[in-house]
Amino acid sequence: MPRLPMGWSNRYTRLVAGLCLVALAVYLSASIPWSLAPAHPSPPSPTRADEYAAARQTLANRIRLRGVDEEVLMVLELVPRHEFVPEEYRNLAYEDRPLPIGYGQTISQPYIVGLMTEELGVKPGDKVLEIGTGSGYQAAILAAMGLEVYSLEIIPELARAADERLKRLGYQVTVKQGDGYLGWPEHAPYDAIIVTAAPDHVPRPLFEQLKVGGRLVIPVGPPGGYQTLWRFTKINEEEWEAHDLGGVAFVPMVHGK
Ligand code: SAH
């Protein structure tokens, strides 16, 4: 047998030994039983919630193009709107449009929810009154922004359903059946008030229950048609500054019987 030169032999031996070690390592790692492998939870099967998360992000991106604040968009991306619409409309939950919620009422269009939320000019910890709980979606958005939320709804069945839904989903909102024309004096004054049904004038109690410097965002106009969305800033106990935010179509704010 021809003798190999010493140097070659050494290099050859090292190469073979190296390859053996690599092969052993590959073999060992592949043969470790699952039970000994680090405990990674198995990836969740795609749930309906995940499907909706992508749709929610697409919707938030669309609303971003219309110029809504990033803080509000973050919350629009978090709150599961599909939980607030009736089962038969779930597939439309992330379209930028209002949807029926029963009793002749609607959940507002997400862009309008975003715009109104932004126009409240609030910061976490502020106290907000909402008139027109409806499905509870707008209230959930406000709660997710870190606000202390009180919400009034005139239709008892909607008030009860929204209260249950908000509790089930873990949003801290105090809901009461009542007439928004009177406001909710027990918790006044509020840093901001948002009205999601349209009266034909600004109810005086809402102005009175607002802090000086606070904002009232409210659609005002004739029932059944288009209204103007207003942002009123309370200057002092007698005056406010009005800012026209454009045309909107809300369900009417009805008078309690
Ligand atoms: N903010 C709601 C949408 C509300 S639709 C949501 O996110 O789903 C308007 C709601 O205002 C309806 O539910 C309607 O019943 C309620 N409403 C009408 N008049 C009212 C009044 N005077 N006081 C309180 N709620 C009223």
Residue 158 in contact with ligand 1 by CB distance below 6 A: yes
pLDDT band with cut points at 50, 70 and 90 for residue 50: low
pLDDT of residue 48: 60
pLDDT of residue 208: 98
Q: How far is the CA of 134 from the centre of ligand 1 (A)?
A: 5
Q: Is-catalytic flag, 108?
A: yes
- Report which of 118, 124, 4, 10 is spatially closest to residue 69, judged by C-alpha positions: 118
Q: Which of 29, 45, 108, 135 is catalytic?
A: 108
Residue 108 in contact with ligand 1 by CB distance below 6 A: yes
Residue 134 in contact with ligand 1 by CB distance below 6 A: yes
Structure tokens at 32: 């470790």
Residue 253 in contact with ligand 1 by CB distance below 6 A: yes
pLDDT band with cut points at 50, 70 and 90 for residue 225: confident
Other CB atoms within a 10 A radius of the CB of residue 184 amount to 22
Q: How far is the CA of 178 from the centre of ligand 1 (A)?
A: 10
Residue 249 in contact with ligand 1 by CB distance below 6 A: no
What does the alpha-carbon distance between residue 195 and residue 229 come to, in Å, rounded to a whole number? 10
Q: What is the pLDDT of residues 1-31, one digit of tens each?
A: 444 444 445 655 565 555 545 554 544 444 4
Average pLDDT over residues 144-163: 98
pLDDT of residue 40: 46
Residue 138 in contact with ligand 1 by CB distance below 6 A: yes
pLDDT of residue 257: 72
Residue 140 in contact with ligand 1 by CB distance below 6 A: no
- How do the domains of the chain map onto residue ranges? 98-248
What does the alpha-carbon distance between residue 212 and residue 199 come to, in Å, rounded to a whole number? 22
- Report which of 239, 141, 237 is spatially closest to residue 196, judged by C-alpha positions: 141
Q: What is the pLDDT of residues 82-102, one digit of tens each?
A: 999 999 999 999 999 999 999
Q: How far is the CA of 138 from the centre of ligand 1 (A)?
A: 11
Q: Pick from 106, 142, 153 the residue to mutate for probing ligand 1's pocket: most ligand atoms within 8 Å of its CB.
A: 153
pTM > 0.75:
yes
Round the CA-based radius of gyration of the chain to a whole number and report it.
29
Statement: residue 217 has pLDDT above 60: yes
What does the alpha-carbon distance between residue 76 and residue 217 come to, in Å, rounded to a whole number? 19
Tell me the CATH number for domain 98-248.
3.40.50.150
Higher-confidence position of 223 and 11? 223
Atom of ligand 1 lying closest to residue 181 CA: 22
Q: Pick from 106, 135, 154 the residue to mutate for probing ligand 1's pocket: most ligand atoms within 8 Å of its CB.
A: 154
